[in-house]
Amino acid sequence: MFHSRHFNIIALAEGIYALEATDQGGAMSNAGIIDLGGFTLIFDTFNTPQAGRDLRQAAMSLLDQPIRYVVNSHWHGDHVRGNQCFAEETIIASSRTRAMMEQTQPGWLARMTPLLPKLEADLAGLAAKISAGPEEAGRLQLTAEQAYLLEIRESIETLMVTYPVLTFGHQLTLHGTKRSVELLSLGQAHTVCDTILYSPSDFIVFAGDVIAVHNHPLFTDGNPHSWLHALETLEKLDAQQIVPGHGPVSDASAIGSMRQYITDLLAISADYHMNPAQPDISCIPVPEAYQRWKAPGVFQRNLEFLLRK
């Protein structure tokens, strides 16, 4: 099977693959490859052009047929920055997602490009520390940082912001000879507009960042209250396999975990509002259930967001 430093390929059904981001590659989020019959659909394009390039090669290697459609679940860079590798294909997103990409992506590149000299200096510093021969744990930490910065440098140097060319409002069905899949915009959840892909014949959902597994989901660009409604809609689909935006492929229990996380944080922030003698937000501990989840810094950002509202 095709090998990439950016992702691992998981077969979910005949002609449906989840691509799970590796910890140190340039993917930073999950993606999907789906055989619709005679042509391929790609769901999300990762955080960097180089990961997008491998995604394209993986799709060709797995299915050996033209790629026709590419879907962006939402506007966040880690799901759209491989788009340029699919400039010849039809990139699809909700109209609100495309509008958000127009608002945010050129600005990101404009902010990052002047940082390249500093990034070079950081890389030189890391290389010096690594060559000094630190002990095992320190070396692993340094090489992980180095791998991340190398991916970001390559991304800034090669990124060409590429937008969806086909947009939709709430729902779009794509038909192939092998299967039909539905794109459903669930409205405001993790962002102002989140799209999921549902394959009814396979009971599989690619959920984008509406679902995160063993990762703190970010609230700050969306709305946790309407996110709970989005989860209800998702639950009604009766999916048996759910591919989250971050973390391993899961089953329908991932919906309950996400609901619990959102409800728990809403309760913590409500409690904070009610009690004037509360400590600083940074002193609020991550609940036991979420202590081993990745991206722990997101917990505090989420609470700050809820308490600002």
Binding site for Zn ion (CB under 5 A): 76, 209
Pairing of strands 90-94, 166-168: parallel
The residue ranges of DSSP E strands in 36-131, in sequence order, are 40-43, 67-71, 90-94
CB of 9 to Zn ion, least distance (A): 22
To which residue do tokens 């990745």 refer?
294
Q: Are 140 and 24 in contact (CB under 8 A)?
A: no
The enclosing H or E element of 167 equals strand 166-168
The smaller minimum CB distance to Zn ion, of residues 298 and 303, is found at 298
Shortest distance in whole angstroms from residue 218 CB to Zn ion: 6
Provide the minimum distance between the beta carbon of 212 and Zn ion in the complex, in angstroms, as a whole number. 9
Nearer to Zn ion, 56 or 81 (CB): 81
Cα–Cα distances in angstroms (integers) from residue 125 to residues 120, 138, 195, in the given order: 9, 14, 41
Give me the least distance between CB of 274 and Zn ion, in Å please.
Answer: 31
The Cα angle at residue 99 between residues 97 and 101, in degrees rounded to 5? 70
**Residue with Cβ nearer Zn ion (40 or 47):** 47
In the bound state with Zn ion, the residue whose beta carbon lies nearer, of 76 and 179, is: 76
The CA distance from 302 to 204, in Å, is 29
Closest approach, Cβ 189 to Zn ion, in A, equals 10
Question: Minimum distance from CB of 286 to Zn ion (Å)?
Answer: 20
CA angle 28, 31, 36 (to 5 degrees): 170
Select 97 or 269, whichever has its Cβ closest to Zn ion.
97
* Residue number with CB closer to Zn ion (76 or 153): 76
Residue nearest to Zn ion (CB): 76
Q: Cα separations (Å) of 159 from 48, 70, 116, 122?
A: 7, 18, 13, 21
Beta carbon nearer to Zn ion, 179 or 190:
190
Kindly state the smallest distance separating residue 83's Cβ from Zn ion, in Å.
15
Torsion of CA 96, 98, 99, 105, to 10 degrees: 130
Give the nearest distance from C-beta 159 to Zn ion in angstroms. Answer: 17
Which of 54, 209 has the CB closer to Zn ion?
A: 209
Which residue, among 188, 172, 258, has the nearest Cα to 216 in the 3D structure? 258
Q: How far apart are CA 207 and CA 214, in angstroms?
A: 15
Q: Which residues contact 250 (CB under 8 A, 6 or more apart)?
A: 211, 213, 241, 242, 244
